Amino acid sequence: MPSKLSVWYNSLVDFNVESLFSKRRVPGPPRTVFVNEPLPDDHYDHKHRVKKEHVFSSNQVITSKYTVITFVPRNLLEQFRRIANVFFLAIAILQFFSIFSTVSPGLVILPLIIVLAITALKDGYEDVKRHQSDRTINYSQVRVLKGGDFSNDNPMASKSKTFVRAIVPVFKRTSKAKRTQGDVENAVAPEGLHTEGTDLTQLPTRTEELGVDFDDGEPVEEAGGLFHHRGASRKPHWKMTIWEDLRVGDIVKIMDDEPLPADILICATSEEENVAYVETKNLDGETNLKSRNACPSLTHLNTARACAKKENAFRINCDRPDTNLYKLNATAIAPDGSKTAVDSNMVLLRGTVLRNTGWVIGVVLYTGEDTKIVLNSGATPSKRSRVERQMNPQVFINLLLLAAMATACGIVDAVLEQHYFPLDAPWLYGDTQSDDNPRINGLITWVYALITFQNIVPISLYISIEGVRTCQALFIYFDKEIVYEKTGQATLARSWNLSDDLGQIEYIFSDKTGTLTQNAMVFRQCTIDGRVYKGDEVDSDVTNVGAITEADEAADESKLDVHETSLIPPSAKRSSASSSTEVANPLTAPAVKKAEHVLAHFTDSTLISDITSAREAVSGSPEDHHGRMLNGFWSVLALCHTALVSIDPTTGAIQYKAQSPDEAALVQAAADVGFVFRGRDREVLTLQTPFARGDKYERYELLNILDFTSARKRMSVLLRKLGGEDSEGDGKVYLLSKGADNVIIERLHPGQDAAVRTTEDHLAEFASEGLRTLTLAYKVVPEDEYEAWAKRYHEATVSLDDREEKIEAVSEEIEHGLSLLGATAIEDRLQDGVPEAIADLKEAGIKIWVLTGDKLETAIAIGHSTNLIGREDNIVIIRGGGEGATPVYMQMLNAVEEFFPESGILEEDGVGLDDDTVQPQQTRGYPLHRVNTGASSLVGHNNGERPGGFVLVIDGAALTHALSDAKNKHLLLKLAMQCEGVICCRVSPLQKALVVKLVKEGVGAMTLAIGDGANDVSMIQAADVGVGISGEEGLQAVNSSDYAVAQFRFLKRLLLVHGHWSYARNGNMIVNFFYKNIICIGVLWWFQIYCAWSSQYAFDYTYLLFWNTFWTIAPVIGIGLFDRIVDDHVLMAMPELYKHSMNHEYFGTKLFLIYMLDGVVQSALIFFLILYSYVSTSSRHDGYDVSRYEFSTTIAIAAVMAANLFNGLNTHVWTGWIFFAVALGIVLVWAYTAIYSIISPGWFPTYVFGNDFYLFRSPYFWFTIFLVTILSLLPRYVAKAYKLAFAPNDLDRARWLHKLDPTHDFTQDRHGGLADISVGGGRKRFSKRTRPHLFHASRTDMATGMRSVNRGFDFATEENGVAMQRIQSHLSERHVQAAPAKRRRNPSALMQAFSIRRTLRRKKHGSQSSHPTDEPSLSSAPSSPGREPLYHRASS
């Protein structure tokens, strides 16, 4: 139970200042948008004011923190969250009272003001940049419908006054409104204005042609409301309006290449089929174009005149604002009451950009904070580095020490005054005033002592750290080793205060696609009807495919690439991929160009031969059957997609643009084979195939698209084949499906077992090579069945309640009874250097977790290819299953007992099975049972004891259970901690963040998350350090990250070099900062013994005033900027050196206390040696006693020299900058002493005038300064010399070896090679230990209990219902190892299929098992790794 003090402290630390100044608007209820209709009466209250729930958010988006009014109070509150700033302010306020004043109060508070001002300027500069960005966006312009009968009565919330709008635009907009260009035209929007550089009044007048825009020769666009023709503003027209003035219910017109200002429902587009193409990289990181369709009932709103007509008014019922980018349920209601369903495919979201479309007319549904991109952005968390968090307790220690010192002074002073005042002590003469008497002077001395010893908490520490971290961010930016040469992209530190956290990372959470891989695809292999086709890469950018010609078959039936000249049927129309201004026709394109993010074309000579044979085959022959399978397979790839067809203007070839690189690679591969998708004309798909009859293109009517979702894991399309009367299959309805193998196979019709087994074997081979697979199937749907289903599907699509669930249920009805065609395999290539980087990061001691949406086997394959899983590693699989499957908690318990029995996890409280843990429905026999064949070696008796360690693989379904409650979380975390790496597959963005938080909060470890897409933002923000992959495209992950890198491999240098350096530098700088202040305060403290504990200064106050600003600041800053624990090439060559940084060796409370003690000891040496040297015999030639300022000035100079040289002694490399930094303070204090001593008191009061005359002539001065300096440094010097000579660590050895041989290759010393180095001598003469024989990687599936050698990936192990013979065949693959097997107890004994060791059950209170001596009685099996398995196989 935490104490009240800790609870109070944590609440104070976690206090969010932003909550006082900003309140996040809660998304409102479901809304109704009235377009050109008045609001109904129920929207008003009794005072005829619009009800609050019907007021929509303005389109103004503000990301800045401050305004003119809130900047000072809010920034001060943020800065005074640091307890040290509160302390310094209190001390400064005290000195405004004359009784406590030391020097001018203004001079005392000046350092605090400087620190606050510098920090405020930095925060203000950052916020000004945010204001500029906000202004650029909010002042971007869009065309809004005005004039005619159009009116918009939807109420909007008022806009906020920001920093810029409160000052600048007030007079700018009013003054410039007098100009002919209008108010909006003069609003500065450097990046948001899209008028092609031409004033709107200079644009050519458009007239209505082909039913577009206007029809009377008047201008159709208005600049600021001014027209050439009188009265034109009353006609329907498009007026340029700034984004922040956009309203819900406005009708807008978006032109090509313009960004979307809000979430907009599409009414009409420039395309004949009312399709719009949009780029969504700002939302999901994908650069491929997406297609969006207009609402069918609104396509007539294609001109300003049509939109403004009252008879075309309508309203839209919408859901409440939602964060789900892919979900939107709405209904468009016409005046006659007819309803049209609206979904996310009809909406253009804010943040996207219109591409390849002339124009779009749409209605604004959501604005500002209600748009999906703003709802998903969230507030970037305020991250504090671990070093900064650790500093707070150290500051508290110093404050407690200060309080104790002040209390001691106050108590002793009060006792002494009360003792000597009755004795008429002369120094107490007159102490009879109300504010000056022995009774109150103790308290005054206590306050005065706080002022005297205030430097024990260094005010300059915080500002010094800020400056050092800023420079470290610049060092990262200018490091040429982590600049991506292809794009010139440097590594950018977006958060300057986390550089030292990079040196303490213990866990890395990485996305896969686009982070570890290039997100660039190659179609590698496919299996069709049991045959595997392994294609070859084609280097050419374009592949000739020709077009259907009448002479094709007669000329040469053996060739797939037909003549480049084409004869297009007269009825061919322009495809949807081309815009209204595009001339090229996809039906006549003779070639196919590589799609973006697709690296190669696909070709296979065997496949070409099989297609040729099939074309010539006799009906009913095996070749004919295989030809039908080939035709079906490639037709599914060519038709089951949402890809767009475009024509490359340079080559005239077809280029596919798909929503993902995978889809583009599939469609392009089909085209390479000869199944060329020629585009879509409205709802008609055109396909060219080698099997075309009558030398014609095949055409299909697109009936429905059952889109791919993470839950469905498949995509289907329903098509009706079109053609002549003699066309085979004319009028039939086909269902074409592609998806994950498990969801497709379970929907096949019975009788395909042989084909399924063959395909599964091929899928396992594909997955073992790290390829991404899809399974293809189809069915013919009877017409009456389709008509009935289509009616139910339409009802589900127009439903506003639970639309997704209803659509899923209806889709499930028709996606069954499929016929298997085959499967595809695509390679997602790794980024350069990824395997090497992961191997080195693992060697550095960092645990790497990969969080991916890929299926289990592909994720494991990527783990192997990236070196995350070594060849000798053991893989433990935890999978979620359906009814009857092994519970996830039980799987985790089995894994712990099976592989980590000595970890102590099973003995922990809360770990184990309660009586109600295994529910009745879960105790049914699992369909898979391990069979005991009588030979334990077949199941791998030594599994779990191999040298490579363990890797845990868990899927999203299992994570859902494992993260459901504290008990599951605890066991999952304990199990994962025993593994070298973890792979989470099939995970959602939310699960990624939850996994990061599980480790971050459960272990307290430093975490780093790296990703490249919007789905990684939550993970990046949840981690201590977030890294975004910028690469060639600007992605949303970068905007939410702390560091932006271009390639994953740069993470190695960022952590091992910059992170290690920054943490070592900052930690060393901070402890030296505390040390140099304690040595100063220590001298003042020892002086209290001789001044009756009156809190007097030992030396002149100016020496104390300049202590942190001139005398001792340079060395610690030099440490923070220029110290190097070891050179960068050594850190890169020996990743294991990072463990010193990861283990927090450079900063902590223990190190802090050591340096504090060192400062106390040195202050005692300096004070007492100099004091007794001066008081023993006078140092003056005339015999008079010395003045206090003679020996105290000597103490001050000696303290400065000792502190600076001690700081220099703690650096690891002496460069010119370090020499300069150490010498600077010493030179300054000597020069100051010489100059200050000759200033006449006539200029201003000084107590040390003439001090130089006595000081520099005294032998005591020279003798004591050098004596105490050497004695002060001697203990640390001896300790460092002893450590280097007798107890060196790897860093010491590396520095020594580098000193002896600067050209030494440190890669030879990896894996503990530095242990052979003897500092001061040569290399030790003994051989390295030989590593044990490396086994093949072993895998154990805890859901099935199945073990096998992991040389290939069995796809079928993912799902339930695997046949028994599949298990037996895989078990037979196990190699018998020569190592002697440990004896098992009773290997032939049989157990129930679902039995649990009693050691796993929670111990009952009061039972015999609570006694240690009774523990063996719970299970007669020994606790050795060779114990009996939980699942036994029945003898066959």
**Strands, E assignment, 637-683:** 644-647, 654-657, 676-681
Q: String of b and e for 1326-1355 (b: at least 16 CB within 10 Å)?
A: eeeeeeeeebbbbbbbbbbbbbbbbebbbb
Q: Rounded CA gap, 800 and 802, in Å?
A: 7
Alpha helix (H) residue ranges in 314-362: none
Query: Nearest to residue 508, comparing CAs of 1135, 1134, 1047, 1020?
Result: 1020
Q: Which helix (H) or strand (E) holds 715?
A: strand 714-722
With beta carbons less than 8 A apart as the criterion, state whether 1095 and 449 touch.
Answer: yes
- Identify the DSSP state of 571: T
CA pseudo-torsion sign 343, 346, 347, 352: positive
Q: Which helix (H) or strand (E) holds 469?
A: helix 460-477
- Identify the DSSP state of 913: B
Following CA atoms 930, 936, 942, 943 in sequence, which dihedral angle do they give, to the nearest 10 degrees? -20
| DSSP SS3 for 407 | helix
Query: Nearest to residue 685, comparing CAs of 660, 655, 720?
Result: 720
Output the six-digit token pair for 724: 């002549």
């091929």: which residue's tokens?
762
Q: Rounded CA gap, 968 and 953, in Å?
A: 16
Q: What are phi and psi of 592, to 5 degrees?
A: -125, 130
Q: Which helix (H) or strand (E) holds 238?
A: strand 237-242
Output the six-digit token pair for 139: 């002042």
| DSSP SS3 for 1298 | helix
Q: String of b and e for 12-41 (b: at least 16 CB within 10 Å)?
A: eeeeebeeeeeeeeebeeebbbbbbbeeee
Beta strands at 1338-1341 and 507-510: parallel, antiparallel or unpaired: unpaired
CA pseudo-torsion sign 420, 422, 423, 425: positive
With beta carbons less than 8 A apart as the criterion, state whether 141 and 184 touch.
Answer: yes
Catalytic residue among 500, 511, 840, 1016: 511
Expressed in angstroms, the distance from the first to the final Cα of the chain is 56
Output the six-digit token pair for 713: 């894991």
- Interacting residues of 502 by C-beta distance below 8 A, sequence separation 6+: 1008, 1025, 1043, 1054, 1055, 1058, 1059, 1062, 1063
| DSSP SS3 for 182 | coil
| DSSP SS3 for 109 | helix
Output the six-digit token pair for 195: 């008028």
- Identify the DSSP state of 1404: P
With beta carbons less than 8 A apart as the criterion, state whether 558 and 538 touch.
Answer: no
With beta carbons less than 8 A apart as the criterion, state whether 848 and 1005 touch.
Answer: no
Q: What is the largest CA-CA distance in the chain?
A: 133
Q: Rounded CA gap, 310 and 301, in Å?
A: 12
Among this protein's residues, is 436 annotated catalytic?
no
Q: Rounded CA gap, 984 and 47, in Å?
A: 57
- Interacting residues of 794 by C-beta distance below 8 A, sequence separation 6+: none
Alpha helix (H) residue ranges in 820-948: 834-843, 856-865, 888-899
Active site residues: 511
